[in-house]
Each structure stands twice: as structure tokens, then as C-alpha cells.
Amino acid sequence: MSAISITSESTEMYLKSIAELEMLATPPVAISHLAQRLGVSSPSVLEMVKRLAAQNLVTHTPYKGVSLTDSGRRRAMAVLRRHRLWERFLVDTLQLPWESVHDYACQLEHATAPAVTDALAAFLDNPTTCPHGNPIPDAAGAVPPNRTIPLLELAVGQSARLENIIYEEAILLEYLARRGFLPGVQLTLEDIAPYQGPLMVRVSGFDHPAALGREIAARIFVVPTE
Amino acid sequence: MSAISITSESTEMYLKSIAELEMLATPPVAISHLAQRLGVSSPSVLEMVKRLAAQNLVTHTPYKGVSLTDSGRRRAMAVLRRHRLWERFLVDTLQLPWESVHDYACQLEHATAPAVTDALAAFLDNPTTCPHGNPIPDAAGAVPPNRTIPLLELAVGQSARLENIIYEEAILLEYLARRGFLPGVQLTLEDIAPYQGPLMVRVSGFDHPAALGREIAARIFVVPTE
DNA sequence: AATCATAATTAGGATACCCTAATTTAAGGA
DNA sequence: TCCTTAAATTAGGGTATCCTAATTATGATT
């Protein structure tokens, strides 16, 4: 059977998910967060985490959570690279809709031999970001330094440029795109309603500010501008 | 987890392999042939075949072998379609070497959503054959009528055009390509050595005929010409 | 310090899909 | 008819990866 891949699909999904969750909050990553993200039960996560720990891909601190080792991080970055390259290809080359490509890429990323990854990157002229603005790790797994802050932490009245969206659910991406929230747009945080209320954000070229929930605003990353 | 695919990779590999073996010999396909092709043991094949039979994808005649149901064949054709589209993409678009793409396609075929298949086919302008000349089933699973015969059955002295090669091992494909055996070439069967000996085949543009073993000649399909 | 709520962990179970060894069956030849 | 060989089948086992129910640990609150 075509067992070219040494790393199982599940292993790759666990490593990738830990890496993604580490971008949203400080490690170690909670078992229940991982379980939620992967759509499996906590005991399943725990068992897989123990297996990954035995392979020195993660370190598990009991009752605290799980974090990637260097080796695990390299693996995760390789998966993210493939994921985001495929997303680029699906949007730019195959013209599939922006908000729909995450799941397709999620399948393809585990089925891509190194030679295919390299050739795909070359064909795409080595893009640096996925369609959602997230950086594509280079072939060595390196990601450029992160100068962004979550929109949630932008000062009221401050302008910024939208860099990336770490949230790939199709319905949300479609919602955001319809209100102009796309990588590269200029926006201004006009107001934050009290009591953990929504943020009023004006996207340049739009007449009215959009209201964003805090959870979404925490996953939109911006670079402040003058 | 990204469980978009309803059919497991193993199921797809079994169905595809049965379909391929049915092209080389009369059904039912022997358990041991299937085991050899898939690189697993006979009891494993038998158990999977029973499982596939329970899903009405194959019919298993005890001690005789296994054949595809209509439903199973449709599934197999869909896998073959994806396999051959990816081969086309890998060779034509990513410029990967002709003899190396089979394994890569073998991975990708199980990780391709319907929408991606359709978009890929459109991008490739709906090719009708893979790089090895094998027909690409259309979206409904149909394959054009087969007018070919195995080179092994060509009459001595007869000329023919090479249509397709049903044998995707990299070393052999490289060997064949170096001797000019590519889809579309004109060739002549000059001689067959006695006692199941090799065939002497002259490929147009080459000074000397090449000697081919019978097993290989049985997998090269040609259309006789005047 | 005691209590409560939440998260993590343990215990036991299931399935897909693979394995080897032993036994049975079918086909061909003497 | 009997024997041999090869293939198919049965029997028992393993692993990755998932599940639910029950128990334990942790942190916050009273």
C-alpha cells in the first residue's frame, strides 16, 4: 500500500492543531481545547498526546497541557506549509472560493510527498501567505517574525492594516469577506462597547462600521498604522 | 477531524486494484493477485473483501475470486479518474518526471474532494488520458471503448501505435521511455523468440529493435495500423 | 478549611485493517 | 483413484485511534 508517509494523518492533525492553538494563546495547550479543535473526546486526545510524547514530538505536563518539541514543531510547520500552499493553489489556480478551500487543503496536506510540495511551491512562485493572510512557513519551517497584534488589542481610534485571520470556518470567512475584511485592507477601530461588548470597526471603502464579537476580533491580526 | 471522505483509503485502494486487475485478465480477480498487488497478506485481502462484499461493492465467489459490483466499479472509476488527473497535473503543470508520478498520484487520489476533482479537470482542460496513455474516466465514470490489444498478441511483422501502458513501476517506465516506448509512438513487432522468449520490437526512430519480456509486452496496449 | 465546578485522567470497550500459523479446498497430474 | 501443489480459508493475535462512564485533580469561591 502507498505508505510513503511516515507520519500518520492523525499525528499530523494533532501537531498542526497544537501549533495553531499555540498561536492563539500561551502554551501549554489545554487538552480540552485540543479535543474541541480536533472534534474528538478528551481521553482520545490524552492517549494520542501520550503517544506523541513517547515519540518526542510533544511534551505533556499532567493537568497543565501539551506543547510542541522542536522536532514536533518542525513537523507541524511542514504540515502548515503544505496546507497553505494548497490553499493558494486552490484559490489562485483552480479559482475555488476563498472561504471553501480550508477543508480541501486539510485533506491534501497529508497526501503530499516532499517532491510534490517543492514543485507546487515553485509553480506558485513561492508565495509567502495563504489566501487568509497567514504566513507560509518556508521549506525549513521558518516563519517570518510576527509584527501583528489581535484587533482586540488595538487602541480605540487607531488605524491598522489587516494582516491575517486565524479562523478558517467557511461561514465566518464568507461573513467577513462580505464586510470587506480581507488581508491587506485598511481599517479603524472606532469603539468598543462596554461589558465585553462588540467592537465597531470601519473598513476603508465601507460607509458603516461593522460590529465584531470579541472572539472573532481576537483572531484577526493587524499591524497598526499611522 | 477532516473526515470528509466517506470511503476509506484502503477501500479505495482495493476497489481500484480490482478494477486494474480486471483490465489485465478475466474476472473474478484472484485473492492472491490482489494481495500481491496491494502488498498485503491473503488473509488480510479476504477479510477486506468480505467487508466490501457486505457493502455491496464487490461480489466474492469462494475459492474463485472477487469482482466489482456496478456500485463498486463506479467508486473505482472515480478513484482512477482522480489518479490519472493528478498524474496529468504532476507531469504537465508541475513538470515532475513521467515515471515518478504514480506514487504521488496514488496518495493524492484519496485526498481529493469532488469540487477539487472538478476544478482540477477543468484547469487541465479535461484531458482524456494520463501520461502513460491510460484513459481518464469521465465524471460519470465512463471510459471510451477499448480498441487496443496487448503487444503480446500483435501479429509478427505487424505495425501498431502504442496506446497505453498498464504498469506504473517507476524503474520500468524509465526503462521503456529510454527505448522510446511512449504513448503515441509507432512500432513494429519484428519477431517472437520461441519457448516463451522475448519479443523484438522496433520503435520508429530507433536503429535497433528492443527486446521485451512477455510480461511487459502483455501490459503494453497497441492499436494495429497498416 | 470546605465546597463546587471544571478539566484531566483512568478504565474498559470498539473498529478498521493489518499480521502469522495452521487447516482446508480445488485443480492438475500420475 | 490417489497424490501433490498452490491457493483460499480459518483461527487467533496486534496496533492505531477512536468511544463512554467513572474517578481524580485543580483552582476558585465561600
For residue B100, the 8-state DSSP code is: G
B7 strand C contact, CB < 7 Å:
no
Question: Which residues are within 7 Å of strand D by their Cβ atom?
Answer: A 8-11, 38-41, 43-44, 47-48, 51, 63; B 1, 30-32, 35, 42-43, 46-47, 60, 62-63, 65
B13, B104, B116 ranked by CB distance to A116: nearest:
B104
One DSSP character per residue, A182-219 reads: -TT-EEEEEEE-TTT--EEEEETT-SSPEEE-HHHHTT
For residues A27 and A67, the answer to whether their CB atoms sit within 8 Å is yes
Mean pLDDT of A154-176: 89
Looking at residue A5, what is its pLDDT? 46
Angle CA A4–A7–A9, to nearest 5: 100
Q: What is the dihedral of CA B214, B216, B220, B226, to 10 degrees?
A: -40
C-alpha pair distances (Å), A182 with each of A78, A98, A137, B37, B186: 25, 10, 20, 49, 55
Statement: residue B3 has pLDDT above 80: no
Statement: residue B98 has pLDDT above 50: yes
Most confident stretch, A1-15, A66-80, A135-149, B167-181:
A66-80
Looking at residue B143, what is its pLDDT? 87
Mean pLDDT of A70-82: 96
Chain D bases near protein CB atoms (7 A cut-off)? 7-12, 16-21, 25-27
Chain C bases near protein CB atoms (7 A cut-off)? 7-12, 16-21, 25-27
Give dist(CA A34, CA A30) in Å, integer: 6
Neighboring chain A residues of B115 at a CB cutoff of 8 Å: 96, 100, 104
Q: What are the tens digits of pLDDT across the range A22-74?
A: 988 888 999 999 999 999 999 999 999 999 999 999 999 999 999 999 999 99
* Residue whose C-alpha is closest to residue B157's, from B196, B126, B201, B97: B201
| CATH 1.10.10.10 assigned to B9-71 | yes
Our CA-based measurement puts residue A192 at a distance from the nearest CA of chain B, in whole angstroms, of 35
B195 strand C contact, CB < 7 Å:
no
Q: What are the tens digits of pLDDT across the range A109-132?
A: 999 999 999 999 999 999 999 999
Mean pLDDT of A160-164: 94
Mean pLDDT of A183-193: 92
Nearest nt by C1' to B65 Cα? D8
A2, A112, A120 ranked by CB distance to B106: nearest:
A2
Residue B144: pLDDT band by 50, 70, 90 thresholds? confident
Residue A183: pLDDT band by 50, 70, 90 thresholds? very high
A62 strand C contact, CB < 7 Å:
yes
Neighboring chain A residues of B15 at a CB cutoff of 8 Å: none
Statement: residue B2 has pLDDT above 60: no
In one letter, which amino acid is B85?
L
The C-alpha cell 498498464 sits at B166
For residues A23 and A166, the answer to whether their CB atoms sit within 8 Å is yes
| CATH 3.90.1640.10 assigned to B149-225 | no
One DSSP character per residue, B106-121 reads: HHHGGG--HHHHHHHH
Give dist(CA A31, CA A46) in Å, integer: 7
Mean pLDDT of B101-127: 97
Cell of A40: 474528538
Statement: residue A142 has pLDDT above 50: yes
Give dist(CA B174, CA B98) in Å, integer: 8
| CATH 1.10.10.10 assigned to A1-144 | yes
Q: Where are the beta strands (DSSP E) in chain A?
A: 58-61, 65-68, 149-150, 159-165, 186-192, 199-203, 210-212, 220-225
| All structural domains of chain A with their residue ranges | 1-144, 149-225
